[in-house]
């Protein structure tokens, strides 16, 4: 692995300027529904999430799950093998390992192709982890532009990305692991605006295995309902003043409140004793029996993914699912 450069330039979108972050956290406390970005905000939370991901994500724990991303990367690289330059835009780059697979595949299929990489994440730490993953597969630091942005608070992704995409190169947009954490339908138009003729979109989705959708969602509940995930999710309340033991995390399966027909795994903090959470000059009191929604994750099926994307003119060209049926990767064109 090459040694990282002494310094890294990171671009910060206004959605992650301090006042915007403060506004989002105040809104989370008032509504008692945590903006998901605050689970990745600090170095401690970033490391906790990486441990959860490495322990429970099929993309990390199941060799056949890992193979999905290899197959998708090679398929995308072969489709674009005649291009001289590719911009890889990873929306929610996380640790960047899957992005690195794609960057390697592009170089394997077309040695010497110009590859530019824009890892977009709400966490500065994760954008830098993604940068290191790209450096490890041979990209130069000048071809990597980490971009810190809150996708949920940015209505126009295309305009927001313009400042870091000066070239007219063909794009491969990655939306790995993100679909489950957005209200169904809220991302398809934003994604469609990024995909021009000749570009590709790669999406992954957590799936409900088996023919019985509800039973499939229940079957994967232990991937969330575990101590490691609970410790990661409750950390955000501890950072705001909660003590260990003030609340416990409970998981449940719920229907989508927006009539999509999807089910989702929810995580709620249930307060067990009087607790005070404080941020800036605002103090919030919680009593035993009060709840605070920490997290949700939708579970899809391949046909549900297709139906969700179709109204924006996005069509699945190829798809791959692991034998367990709980992870899927989709290659999409406009």
- pLDDT value of position 6: 65
pLDDT band at residue 259, thresholds of 50, 70 and 90?
A: confident
Residue 2 pLDDT greater than 60, yes or no: no
Which pTM was predicted? 0.91
- pLDDT value of position 152: 92
pLDDT digits (tens, 9 = 90+) for 57-74: 776 777 777 899 999 999
Residue 161 pLDDT greater than 90, yes or no: yes
On average, the pLDDT of the chain sits at 92
- pLDDT value of position 3: 55
**CB 153, CB 24: distance < 8 Å:** yes
Residue 81 pLDDT greater than 70, yes or no: yes
The third-level CATH classification (topology) of the domain covering 37-207+301-333 is Rossmann fold (3.40.50)
Separation of alpha carbons 254 and 114, rounded Å? 45
Separation of alpha carbons 316 and 276, rounded Å? 48
Separation of alpha carbons 15 and 39, rounded Å? 16
What is the domain partition of the chain in residue ranges? 37-207+301-333, 213-299
pLDDT band at residue 217, thresholds of 50, 70 and 90?
A: very high
Separation of alpha carbons 187 and 82, rounded Å? 30
pLDDT band at residue 53, thresholds of 50, 70 and 90?
A: confident
Task: Please report, rounded to a whole number, the percentage of residues in the chain having pLDDT higher than 90.
Answer: 81
Distances (CA, A) of 182 to 151, 189, 298, 299: 10, 13, 8, 11
Separation of alpha carbons 156 and 332, rounded Å? 20
pLDDT digits (tens, 9 = 90+) for 222-249: 999 999 999 999 999 999 999 989 999 9
pLDDT digits (tens, 9 = 90+) for 286-298: 999 999 999 999 9
């Amino acid at each position: 692995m090459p040694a990282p450069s002494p310094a890294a330039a990171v671009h910060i979108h206004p959605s992650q300027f301090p006042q915007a972050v403060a506004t989002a956290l105040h809104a989370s406390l008032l509504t008692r529904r945590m903006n998901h970005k605050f689970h990745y905000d600090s170095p401690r939370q970033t490391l906790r999430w990486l441990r959860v991901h490495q322990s429970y994500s099929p993309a990390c724990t199941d060799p056949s799950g890992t193979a999905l991303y290899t197959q998708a990367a090679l398929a995308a690289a072969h489709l674009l093998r005649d291009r001289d330059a590719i911009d890889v835009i990873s929306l929610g780059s996380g640790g960047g390992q899957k992005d690195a697979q794609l960057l390697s595949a592009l170089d394997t299929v077309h040695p010497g192709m110009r590859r530019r990489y824009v890892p977009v994440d709400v966490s500065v730490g994760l954008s830098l982890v993604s940068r290191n993953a790209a450096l490890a597969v041979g990209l130069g630091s000048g071809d990597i532009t980490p971009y810190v942005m809150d996708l949920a608070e940015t209505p126009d992704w295309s305009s927001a990305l313009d400042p870091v995409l000066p070239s007219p190169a063909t794009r491969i947009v990655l939306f790995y692991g993100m679909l489950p954490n957005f209200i169904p339908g809220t991302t398809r138009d934003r994604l469609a605006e990024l995909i021009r003729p000749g570009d590709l979109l790669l999406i992954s989705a957590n799936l409900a295995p088996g023919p019985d959708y509800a039973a499939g969602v229940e079957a994967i509940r232990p991937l969330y309902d575990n101590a490691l995930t609970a410790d990661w999710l409750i950390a955000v309340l501890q950072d705001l003043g909660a003590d260990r033991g003030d609340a416990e995390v409970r998981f449940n399966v719920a229907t989508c409140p927006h009539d999509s027909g999807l089910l989702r795994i929810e995580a709620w903090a249930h307060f067990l004793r009087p607790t005070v959470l404080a941020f800036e000059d605002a103090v919030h009191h919680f009593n035993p029996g009060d709840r605070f929604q920490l997290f949700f994750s939708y579970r899809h099926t391949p046909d549900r993914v297709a139906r969700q994307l179709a109204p924006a003119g996005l069509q699945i060209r190829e798809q791959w699912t692991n034998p367990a049926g709980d992870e899927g990767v989709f290659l999409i064109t406009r």
